[in-house]
Amino acid sequence: MLKVVWSFAQTHWFITLILALVSISVVGQAIEKLGFHLWYLFVVAAAAVIASWIGLPLYFWPFLLGMTTAFTEIINKFDDEPMKALKTWPALFYHVLNGMIAVFALYLLALIAGKPADMSGLSDIDKLKVCDGRWVWSDADHAIETVQHQSR
């Protein structure tokens, strides 16, 4: 599918340029209307594209789960105005960083288990188990943080 799109873009470069400019305009208007939260969608979309592009689509899911974990941590920490806290660049950076840490944790688990980075040779259920292993520890840490936060 991507080869067809790329071939079209190369042969019809002027139409592609016009479509790109229109797309940039539409995205700019969407950012203006939807506000800062649209950047989260862009980050998730970019992570999905990058994971597929480098041939490691399995790493997208830990990234997404890491961002979700960051979301719950921010909601718990700033319980008076959580949506206001999510509209800041540090919060977006924290989400991306947490997602990247989750991807690194999956990569580290693959290395420790002696598996290739792309998890080739594993069944789908085994790939799921490897991705899920990091979340067992993350959820335990999050539960401890929540209990400590509530006891204050």
- Please state the domain extents for the chain: 35-151
pLDDT single digits (tens) 18-60: 988 998 898 788 777 777 878 888 899 999 999 889 888 888 9
pLDDT category of residue 135 using cuts at 50, 70 and 90: very low
For the chain, give the mean pLDDT.
80
- Angle, alpha carbons 118-105-98 (nearest 5°): 115
pLDDT category of residue 7 using cuts at 50, 70 and 90: confident
% helix / strand / coil in the chain, to the nearest 5? 85, 0, 15
